[in-house]
Amino acid sequence: MEPRSLDPTLPYLGELMKYGQITLANLREVGCVAVAHDGRQTVSMLLRREGETVTHLLTRLDLAVGKALTEGIRTDEVNPLKQEFVPKK
Residue 6 is predicted with a pLDDT of 56
pTM over 0.85: no
Domain-located, residue 81:
no
Domain-located, residue 86:
no
pLDDT in tens, 12-61: 999 999 999 999 999 988 899 999 999 999 999 999 999 999 999 999 99
Model confidence at 1, pLDDT cuts 50, 70, 90, reads: very low
Number of folded domains that form the chain: 1
Domain-located, residue 78:
no
Q: CA 34 to CA 26: how far, in whole Å?
A: 9
Residue at 23: amino acid letter? T
Domain-located, residue 41:
yes
Model confidence at 7, pLDDT cuts 50, 70, 90, reads: low
Domain-located, residue 83:
no
Contact 59, 10 (CB under 8 A): yes
Domain-located, residue 80:
no
| Torsion from C-alpha of 6, 46, 40, 25, nearest 10 degrees | -70
Model confidence at 83, pLDDT cuts 50, 70, 90, reads: very low
Domain-located, residue 40:
yes
